[in-house]
Every structure is written in C-alpha cells, then in structure tokens.
Amino acid sequence: MGRKTTAHPGVCFVEHKTRKFRGKPDRNFFIRYRNKITGKRHEESLGWSREGMNVQKAAGIRAELLSNIRAGRHPQSIQEKRQMDADRTEAEKKALAELDRLNITLDTVAQEYLAGLKESTRKANTSRYNNHIKPIFGETPLRDIHPLALERFKRELFKKGLAPKTVHHTLTVVRTIFKKAVAWDYYNGTIPTSKVDFPEFNNKRLRFLTHDEADQLLKALAERSPQTHDQALIALQCGLRSGEIRAMKWQDLDFKNGIITLPVTKAGESQQAFMTDEVKDVLLDRIPEKVNPTDFVFPGKDGGMQFKISDTFKRTVFDLGFNEGLETSDSRNRVVFHTLRHTFCSWLAMQGTPLFTIQQLARHKTLSMTERYSHLLPDHKIDAVRAMAEVFDQERKQGHSTKIQNL
C-alpha cells in the first residue's frame, strides 16, 4: 500500500485493499512536516475515512501544528496533541466526578451506611433516620448541611416531644453518616455535628434485683420458657450482655475450666467470662445429641443467631409486678433484661469486691464505667478510720500505764 499524494502539501494517504467506505476504498491519511526549530522531520497517521478523517481535515491539522511550532505553542506533534486531548478528557471526567461528589446527598450516603450495619443495630438506626432525619435532610447535599441547620433540627426534635436520649442518638446517626462520607471520599469538609451541642442524658441504670426478686424471676421463667430462664441465669451470674448470650456458640464454652470465650464484645475484643456451677449445669443440659461446635447455644427459629431475647422475659417481669407504677417514670428504674447484668455488678460491689475486679469481671472498657457501683461498697473508709483511732487509743493507754508503773 504505497502512499499517494494529494493537492494539499504534506498530506498523503494509503488505500485499504479490501475495506470500502461510501463505495470507495477506505483511506488512511498521513501528514508530513518538519519542525524548523528542532530540524526533526515527522510523518504521522491521522486516521481513516470511516473514522471521519478527510484530506481537508488533515491539511488543517498540519497547518495548526506548523503554526504552533512557529509561535512556540503546543501541541507541536500528533502524539502530543493526542496526549493533550486525553489529559483534557481525563480532567473533564474528574471535574464531573468532583461535581457529583459535591452534590451527593445525605440520603445517598445514609443508605450505604445503613445497609452495612449489623442486624442488631440496623433496625433502630434506620427508624431514627427514616422518621426524623430523612424528611429534613435526605435530599440535601452534604455540603449544604451546616451547624445552624442542625441546631434548628435539634430544637424541632425537642418540640416534637422527643427525649434528650432520643435526640442525642438521632444526632449521632447524622454524625456517623458524615464520618462514613469522609471515609468513602464523598465529603472532605468539616463535619457539622462537631459544632453542635449534643443533649446530655443519664442512662445509667439504677434498679437492681434483690436476691428474693431474682429467685422469683428465675422460678417464673423456668415454668414459662426454659431457654429464657437459662439466658437470664447466665446474665445474672456471669454478667453477660444480651448480644453476648445470643452470639454464644458451643465452641466458646470451656466446661473443664468453667470459661466462656466472648469473640465479639462491646469493647471490640475477645474476652472471657466465668461460669458458676449452676450456669455450667444448665449449659451442659442444653447440649444436643449431635452438637456442631459452630452452632449457637441459643439458636433462633432458623438456626441462626437469635434476633432478640424472647418477649417472655418482659411479660414475666410485668406479671410479677416489678415495674408496676413505673411505665411513665424514669426508665432507669424499670426492670429489663440488662437489669440482670447490672444486678451482677451490684451484688459483687455489695459483698465488698474491689472495683478493679468488678471492672474485669464485667469487662468494662474503663474504670469510670464501674465507679457507678462504688456507692454500694461496704463503708470500709469509716471502719479504717475507727480502727486507726482504736490502735492509737490503745497505744496511748498502754504508754500511760507504763508511766504509772515507773513512778
């Protein structure tokens, strides 16, 4: 395929042997030119007729390159022109992507965030988002959500009669969505919730069971639901949380040493709890004939992890009258399943267990979480002061007696 010249200087072409374009052989156009600055000669392919190239376009491109060379502009070759075109296209793509990122709405990030939550937390956070956040900010770009808007949002939540705890959790969902947006490169500004005062609330549970109440509860549960009874006993005597009990698998139980391994804890670490003899007995009684180490000790209906503790617990507490008159009062005084873990810690404190030991047994992340039980500790301080005074008094009397004998 020899090159054929055209009426335009420096423009030539070759014809394809077989391929046709509009009834004529398809042509591949070339341009030839010399860079007078460098003295280098160029011959470059521009493309085929079927791709839109023709002799006039080829001549125009050659003239543009020669003009750029004389003026010291760029591009000065087809290769450089193609690279500049590619760079321009990439820059345009990045600009469009940045525009999309700047316009991304809260709802777009929220849906990705909620979809990735564990089942145990997805329901509550989805409810907070759909009921309170989405109607106000769902279609708003993240960059347009400012601290003042969130302060007004907070006031509206209070006007709707929501409790400080609920408002706090709702703002926490907004904050988490923004944090996810930063982590996923959707947002690079200041997280607006950092300039919003979150409502303070006290969620430290006050109520714990007496020994008699605990005995009544366990007996009533044993008659209604052996599984709920066993779960309550473990919470009461081992201090386990609801989620830890429901997540327990047979491979986590060391009956020889009386240890329960907790692979997933609130602190995010693998930790241990200790079985009492009674807990060990009820767990041994639950072992099925064919046990799979990875099976849940308290499986749900489908064999997977139980979604929540049975409502039998709540109904039993109601029937026993433990929450009578507390339906509209401070929720910290109501008996719920977590009350059993709180009772575990309270009983340890009342028998004089050091706070540091309670912290380890309860697997609290910080000692400050355990200090809520300090008021239940026996008053060793006054006993220590009295004991010191008694020793001093005895020594003083003994010294006075010795003086008399020496007279």
328 pLDDT band, cuts 50/70/90, is very low
- 206-232 per-position pLDDT tens digit: 688 989 999 999 999 999 999 999 999
pLDDT at 265 over 50: no
* Cα 386 from Cα 236, distance rounded (Å): 35
Does the pTM of the predicted model rise above 0.85? no
pLDDT at 99 over 60: no
Q: Which helix (H) or strand (E) is 14 found in, with range? A: strand 11-21
CB 9 within 8 A of CB 21: no
Q: Which amino acid is at 84?
A: M
DSSP label at residue 26? E
- The radius of gyration computed from the CA coordinates of the chain, to the nearest angstrom, equals 39
Residue corresponding to tokens 């009350």: 339
pLDDT at 81: 87
Smallest CA-to-CA distance from 258 within 239, 241, 275, 246 is with 275
| C-alpha separations of 208 from 159, 212, 324, 343, 347 in Å | 33, 12, 15, 5, 9
Which domains occur in the chain, in start order?
Answer: 4-99 (no CATH), 106-195 (1.10.150.130), 211-376 (1.10.443.10)
- 49-71 per-position pLDDT tens digit: 999 999 999 999 999 999 998 88
Tell me how long the chain is. Answer: 407
Q: Which two tokens stand for residue 228?
A: 């709920």
11 pLDDT band, cuts 50/70/90, is very high
pLDDT at 401 over 60: no
Instruction: Name the range with the highest mean pLDDT among 144-158, 327-341, 345-359, 385-399.
Output: 144-158
404 pLDDT band, cuts 50/70/90, is very low
Distance of CA 153 to the CA centre of its chain: 23
